[in-house]
């Protein structure tokens, strides 16, 4: 499954659910992971030689340091994606990092890495890739292969991603699937996409009829719709930003008949109000 040099050779694993522990054996060394809650991230790890390490989370909930039985404290430095990319001793005498390493967006270690740390890709979320058996990473309900960029079993949640084995809709930079069930960012993006349709539709109607040319006999119509248009436009722009979509993407576009009847040459164009390329706002 994994490429040479990834994971630990000659390793076996076993799980003891009642004790909330999992053991792995590499050569003559037995390592036991102990879990403090229902997650798949160990709180501390003990070895058969009597040594141990404890994982310490930061204020943001991500892995911040590893404390060992020898008394040392090793800081885990993460990037914006949540990957641990460097380690440093927590000491006033430290003058730099101990090691620096990188992984691809799908979790494959770079060939330039000189060390294989326990936590690297998504290490801030305590995904153990350095000690992984054959390079396979435990991701909640399933196991994941960085080399393939796919899960190795069927998604337990129908529609949780692009297909039953896909990881994070093939967008590992912007999405996670730590549970092995569905991508949270993909889920929320879908929610935002759904919400944005009626928001823009309301803005389009309020802008198009803000002067109430067809309903002029109703006194309050003109003023209520004029006030609603900029509010709806700001809501539409906020949803675009949340989905990392361009805000200024409105303008003159082909009407629906050209999309569905391409040979209809005399089909007129349709004006879509909004925020334009020159940042002019239709309110």
* pLDDT tens figures, 166-180: 998 888 988 888 888
Cα dihedral 114, 119, 124, 127 sign? positive
Q: How far is CA 240 from the centre of its chain?
A: 18
Q: What gap in Å lies between CA 32 and CA 53, rounded to an integer?
A: 11
Q: Which residue has the higher pLDDT, 152 or 280?
A: 152
Task: Say if residues 52 and 68 touch (Cβ distance below 8 Å).
Answer: yes
* pLDDT tens figures, 41-74: 888 899 888 999 999 999 888 999 999 999 999 9
Task: Say if residues 177 and 168 touch (Cβ distance below 8 Å).
Answer: yes
Query: Which of 112-116, 155-159, 260-264 is least confident?
Result: 260-264
pLDDT score for 216: 46
pLDDT score for 235: 81
Q: How far is CA 211 from the centre of its chain?
A: 44
Task: Say if residues 258 and 265 touch (Cβ distance below 8 Å).
Answer: no
Q: Region 3-28: what's the mean pLDDT?
A: 57
- End-to-end CA, the chain: 57
Residues 6+ apart with CB under 8 A from 156: 141, 142, 180, 181
pLDDT score for 103: 94
Q: Region 236-251: what's the mean pLDDT?
A: 72
Q: What gap in Å lies between CA 133 and CA 155, rounded to an integer?
A: 21
Q: Region 213-234: what's the mean pLDDT?
A: 64
Q: How many CB atoms lie within 10 A of CB 106?
A: 18
Q: Region 22-42: what's the mean pLDDT?
A: 78
| CA proximity to 64, closest of 54, 82, 72, 76 | 76
This prediction has a pTM of 0.61
pLDDT score for 145: 93
Residue 94 tokens read as: 């430290």
Residue 48 tokens read as: 């058969």
Q: How far is the CA of 101 from the CAs of 52, 65, 225, 237, 260, in angstroms?
A: 24, 16, 56, 38, 51
Task: Say if residues 202 and 234 touch (Cβ distance below 8 Å).
Answer: no
Cα dihedral 243, 246, 247, 252 sign? negative
Q: Region 160-165: what's the mean pLDDT?
A: 84
pLDDT band at 132 (very low <50, low <70, confident <90, very high): low
Q: What angle do CA 7, 178, 77 make, to 5 degrees?
A: 65
| CA proximity to 209, closest of 190, 226, 192, 227 | 226
Share of the chain above pLDDT 70, in %: 73
pLDDT score for 208: 76
Query: Which of 46-60, 158-172, 204-218, 265-279 is least confident?
Result: 204-218
């Amino acid at each position: 499954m994994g490429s040479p040099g990834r994971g630990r050779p000659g390793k076996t694993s076993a799980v003891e659910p009642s004790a909330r522990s999992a053991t792995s054996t590499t050569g003559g060394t037995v390592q036991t992971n102990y879990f403090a809650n229902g997650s798949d991230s160990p709180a501390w790890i003990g070895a058969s030689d009597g040594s141990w390490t404890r994982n310490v989370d930061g204020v943001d909930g991500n892995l911040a340091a590893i404390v060992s039985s020898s008394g040392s404290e090793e800081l885990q430095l993460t990037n914006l994606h949540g990957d641990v990319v460097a380690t440093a001793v927590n000491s006033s005498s430290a003058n730099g990092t101990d090691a620096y390493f990188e992984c691809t967006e799908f979790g494959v270690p770079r060939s330039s890495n000189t060390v294989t740390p326990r936590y690297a890709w998504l290490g801030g979320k305590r995904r153990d890739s350095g000690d992984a058996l054959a390079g396979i990473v435990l991701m909640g309900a399933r196991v994941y292969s960085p080399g393939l960029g796919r899960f190795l079993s069927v998604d337990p949640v129908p529609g949780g991603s692009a297909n039953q084995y896909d990881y994070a809709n093939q967008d590992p930079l912007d999405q996670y699937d730590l549970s092995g069930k569905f991508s949270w960012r993909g889920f929320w993006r879908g929610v935002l996409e759904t919400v944005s349709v009626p928001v823009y539709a309301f803005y389009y109607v309020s802008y198009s009829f803000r002067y109430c040319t067809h309903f002029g006999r109703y006194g309050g119509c003109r003023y209520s719709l004029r006030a609603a248009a900029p509010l709806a436009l700001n809501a539409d722009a906020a949803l675009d930003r949340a989905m990392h979509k361009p805000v200024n993407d409105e303008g003159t576009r082909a009407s629906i008949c050209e999309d569905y009847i391409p040979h209809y040459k005399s089909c007129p164009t349709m004006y879509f109000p909004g925020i334009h390329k020159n940042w002019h706002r239709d309110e």
